[in-house]
Amino acid sequence: MAQTKFLLDEEEIPKRWYNIQADLPTPLDPVINPATKEPIKPQDLAPLFPMELIKQEATQERWIPIPEEVREIYRLWRPTPLYRARRLERALKTPAKIYYKWEGVSPPGSHKPNTAVAQAYYNMNEGVKRIATETGAGQWGSALAFATRLFGLDCTIYMVKVSYEQKPYRRILMESWGAKCFPSPSERTEYGRKVLEQDPNCPGSLGIAISEAIKDAVAHEDTHYSLGSVLNHVLLHQTVVGLEAKKQMELTGDYPDVIFGCVGGGSNYSGAVFPFVADKLSGKKPDLQVVACEPKACPTLTKGLYAYDHGDTAGMTPLLKMFTLGKDFVPPPIHAGGLRYHGDAPLLCKLVKEGIMRAKAYHQTEVFKAAITFARTEGFLIAPETAHCVKAAIDEALRCKETGEEKVILFANSGHGHFDLAAYDSYLRGKIIDYEYPVELIKEALKKLPKVGR
Ligand SMILES: *Cc1c(COP(=O)(O)O)cnc(C)c1O
């Protein structure tokens, strides 16, 4: 019988994270303090993050040890399986081999707890009692609710009000793990009260929720803030995915020719591909293709500008050098909620800018069609976010069918879609519309980028 799953023992959970900063051809541009226009100092971040994470953000060390306490919790679902998608290959009649690394087996159902657990641990270790964060549809909030519970920390989550009201299931999941979840804008912070005063019916936004979570953290000595994507330390923690996948690819006897992943802020994609990109940078696999997949409705990498911008809509955060659509970009309400961010992780953007990785954008309907093909061959109903790279993998496999190439394709399968059934329902009833973000609106948003003399 042909092997389908490639598994590792618990002992093979990585002992170190891989820091690609050590191998970049040129160093990252500094994070800039918007007030002084000077590079930010570690102590500027101390009210928000534990010292260990501030260090990880900037370190040039190639390998960062994973604390035993974190590996202990990873054991609940790691190592995650690597699959050969034999049924999908057969359905497509492709000579290509398709592999995927499956992160949907974690308790919250995605890759996000890989960093949530690490962040909760370092906060606990430095005496923090509570973490505040924001969440849109609840994927990040549920990962942090799960992680903080296991380390005995309190968790306060500002959830965008429309999602809080319209998508209750992840809120219930967060509350089941003991987190306190508030619709944002809320009465709990000065900022929230100000927004509500101006517009009592404000539906909320991720930008407002970020601002509330940051204000909450800064106002309380025992409270820190936490971010689920974009930052270097988040990408670092996600490299457990790629490090395991590399070992598992060895078990298959193949090495990927092309790797696809979906990009919202860039954490699952980067975590899955950076350990392979290391081989490209070192010349061990110079022809490796690495492709980031995003929605045409939020085309950060394919249509954005590489420039300094705020990480949030309110303009409170430091300035990051990244591809951006402008912080005032208002993404259309597509179903892949996790891919609606105006920027992307600086590390990932730099590698795209330098031509080491590429990006492609897809429409919603073609993406859902791919997800349904996947569900009907491989069985798993995946997150609409993940479906973007499944579409890319299927396209590549069909291209190989034309040319007869026996390419090895790998994609990062970031999570399940069990809380996205309403979106699948819309697709199955023919109610999903394609949006392509108008170039003129992107140009408008980009005119307002902050001026930094770099
Ligand atoms: C949040 C999420 C994403 C997008 O976030 P990244 O930081 O880009 O990984 C992708 N897939 C799933 C399943 C998610 O929950």
3-class secondary-structure state, position 167:
coil
CB of 386 within 6 A of ligand 1: the answer is yes
Ligand 1 closest atom vs CA 266? 8
Q: Strands 130-135 and 289-295: what pairing?
A: unpaired
The residue contributing the CA closest to ligand 1 atom 1 is 338
Q: Is residue 317 in some structural domain? A: yes
How many CB atoms neighbour CB 2 within 10 A?
5
441 band by pLDDT with thresholds 50, 70 and 90: confident
What's the whole-number average pLDDT of the chain? 94
Domain identity same for 87 and 121: no
The residue contributing the CA closest to ligand 1 atom 7 is 267
Per the structure, the count of domains in the chain is 2
Tokens of 132: 């505040």
Of 204, 227, 250, which residue is a domain's last?
227
Evaluate if residue 384 carries a pLDDT over 90.
yes
Q: Is residue 35 in some structural domain? A: no
| Out of 27-31, 75-79, 172-176, 311-315, least confident range | 311-315
| Out of 130-144, 203-217, 376-390, least confident range | 203-217
Of 192, 227, 262, which residue is a domain's last?
227
The residue contributing the CA closest to ligand 1 atom 2 is 338
Q: Is residue 397 in some structural domain? A: yes
CB of 385 within 6 A of ligand 1: the answer is yes
User: How crowded is the C-beta side of 428, counted as CA atoms within 13 Å?
Assistant: 10
Contacts of 116 (CB under 8 A, 6+ apart): 108, 140, 143, 144, 146, 147, 148, 226, 228
**Ligand 1 mean position, distance from CA 37 (Å):** 31
CB of 232 within 6 A of ligand 1: the answer is no
CB of 268 within 6 A of ligand 1: the answer is yes
CB of 229 within 6 A of ligand 1: the answer is yes
Domain identity same for 251 and 390: yes
Q: What is the C-alpha separation between 4 and 252, in angstroms, rounded?
A: 10
Domain identity same for 136 and 83: no
Could you tell me the pTM of the whole model?
A: 0.97
CB of 270 within 6 A of ligand 1: the answer is no
Evaluate if residue 329 carries a pLDDT over 80.
no
Q: How far apart are the first and last CA of the chain?
A: 58
pLDDT of residue 436: 84
Q: Is residue 10 in some structural domain? A: no
Write the CATH number for 137.
Answer: 3.40.50.1100
For the segment 50-74, the average pLDDT, to the nearest whole number, is 98
Domain identity same for 196 and 147: yes
pLDDT of residue 454: 57
For the segment 127-152, the average pLDDT, to the nearest whole number, is 96
Evaluate if residue 450 carries a pLDDT over 70.
yes
Domain identity same for 209 and 258: no
Ligand 1 closest atom vs CA 110? 13
Write the Ramachandran bin of 110: left for phi over 0, alpha for psi from -120 to 50, otherwise beta: beta
Which residue, among 343, 358, 367, 204, has the nearest Cα to 265 in the 3D structure?
A: 343
Q: Which domain holds residue 146?
A: 113-227
For the segment 249-272, the average pLDDT, to the nearest whole number, is 97
CB of 383 within 6 A of ligand 1: the answer is yes
**Ligand 1 mean position, distance from CA 245 (Å):** 18
**Ligand 1 mean position, distance from CA 43 (Å):** 29
Tokens of 64: 């960062």
Evaluate if residue 188 carries a pLDDT over 80.
yes
Which of 139, 170, 419, when mutated, tests ligand 1's pocket best, judged by the most ligand atoms within 8 Å of its CB?
139
The residue contributing the CA closest to ligand 1 atom 9 is 268
Of 227, 243, 261, which residue is a domain's last?
227
**Ligand 1 mean position, distance from CA 111 (Å):** 7
pLDDT in tens, 8-46: 999 999 999 999 999 999 999 999 998 899 999 999 999
The residue contributing the CA closest to ligand 1 atom 5 is 264
Q: What is the C-alpha separation between 43 and 49, in angstroms, rounded?
A: 10
Evaluate if residue 453 carries a pLDDT over 70.
no
CB of 112 within 6 A of ligand 1: the answer is yes
**Ligand 1 mean position, distance from CA 139 (Å):** 8
What are the angstrom distances between the C-alpha of 313 and each of 310, 330, 426?
A: 7, 9, 29
Q: Which helix (H) or strand (E) holds 376?
A: helix 364-377
| Out of 200-214, 293-307, 374-388, least confident range | 200-214
Q: Is residue 25 in some structural domain? A: no
Contact 246, 322 (CB under 8 A): no
The DSSP-derived string for 110-161 is BSTHHHHHHHHHHHHHTT--EEEEEESSSHHHHHHHHHHHHTT-EEEEEEEH
Q: Is residue 281 in some structural domain? A: yes
Q: Which helix (H) or strand (E) holds 234?
A: helix 232-252
Which of 111, 322, 323, 418, when mutated, tests ligand 1's pocket best, judged by the most ligand atoms within 8 Å of its CB?
111
